[in-house]
Each structure stands twice: as C-alpha cells, then as structure tokens.
Amino acid sequence: MTLLTRSLSKTHNLIGKPVLARIHKLIPFRLKKKIIEEVLNRAFKQVIDDGDLEFLKGKVIVLNLSDLNESIFIGWNSSLQVLPRGEYDVEIRGDLDEFVTLALRKEDPDTLFFQRRICIQGDTELGLAVKNLIDSVDLEELPGAIRKGLSITETLYPYLMPSGAR
C-alpha cells in the first residue's frame, strides 16, 4: 500500500464517513426516499418488468449501513418503495464500503457474506433471495445514469476504501 493510498484511506475513515453521515442526516426523509426509490426502480427495471420481485410482496427488507448509523427500509408494491422505520422481515447489514464493493462486483457476493462483512439477520431465506437477485443484475443492462454513477464510483474506489484497492 502506498503512502498516498494509506493517507487517503485514513482521510476516508476519519473525515469522509463522519461528514457523509452528518450530511445524510440533514437530508429530509422525503428527498432521500424519492432518490433511493428512483435509483432502485431504475436499477431493477428488467427484474421488475419480468415480475421477479413478487416474492417481496408484503415483505420489508432493511439495509443497515452500520458505519453511517443509517437504515433504509424497503418494501414492494408494484415498485420498490422506501418505507418509514418499522417492523421488517430481514436485515442486511454492513458498512457502506462493503455495499459499494458488492455493487461494483469487486468481490464475489458470497465472499462478502461468508466473511460476515455483509450479514443477514431475520428471514435468511428471504435475505439470500435478495442477495441472489442483486447478484443476477447485469451491470451492462443498467440505465445509463446508474452505469455512469457506478463508473465514477469505480474510478474513486481504490482511494476511498479503508484498505486501499481491494
């Protein structure tokens, strides 16, 4: 690991995450809800169109970003919806870095789960189905704006991850 990478990694952990967490807390729920729903429904458009999310009907998934102390409750009712805090069926928990690693496919999803860097609690069958669904999305089929966002994230990835480029 180079001196620059170590320095950027320390900056990320000492400044980046706390600042991101504070900024995130300042954003009103309605705005976060709208943005997250738009991104999720665009990212999973093909899966939604194919009817492959019906198994989520009546279920609530919570994505817990441990390091940001933030939980996102997601439900399904003909579209993916961000819900207010409440009861849930399954929690998928990990640090933001691990979810970025998952989204960018920098590591096999099973590795992230087996090493307990991302954990499933509650209805594990539902959690594994969600994990498999995420893994089945073809990155090349994502809408242009999401691919562009992932591309920018991928460019910054080695400098933002706590351990440098993984």
Kindly report, residue by residue over 9-22, the tens digit of the pLDDT.
444 454 556 666 66
CA angle 70, 72, 74 (to 5 degrees): 170
Using CA of residue 106, residue 108, residue 113, residue 115, what is the dihedral sign? negative
What is the pLDDT at residue 16?
55
Q: What is the DSSP letter of 119?
A: E
Contact 8, 162 (CB under 8 A): no
pLDDT digits over 51-99, tens only? 999 999 999 999 998 988 889 999 999 999 999 999 999 999 998 888 8
Residue 134: which region, alpha, beta or left (left: phi > 0; alpha: psi -120 to 50)? alpha
- The yes-or-no verdict on residue 155 having pLDDT over 50 is yes
What is the pLDDT at residue 79?
95
Instruction: Identify the band that residue 163 occupies on the pLDDT scale cut at 50, 70 and 90.
Output: low
Amino acid symbol at 23: I
Amino acid symbol at 140: E
Over residues 123-142, the mean pLDDT reads 84
What is the pLDDT at residue 43?
84
Q: Residue ranges per domain, the chain?
A: 3-160
pTM across the whole model: 0.76
Q: What is the dihedral of CA 38, 42, 46, 47, to 10 degrees?
A: -40
Homologous superfamily of domain range 3-160: SCP2 sterol-binding domain (3.30.1050.10)
Using CA of residue 69, residue 75, residue 79, residue 83, what is the dihedral sign? negative
What is the pLDDT at residue 106?
81
Which of the two residues, 4 and 113, has the higher pLDDT score?
A: 113
pLDDT digits over 138-151, tens only? 777 766 777 677 77
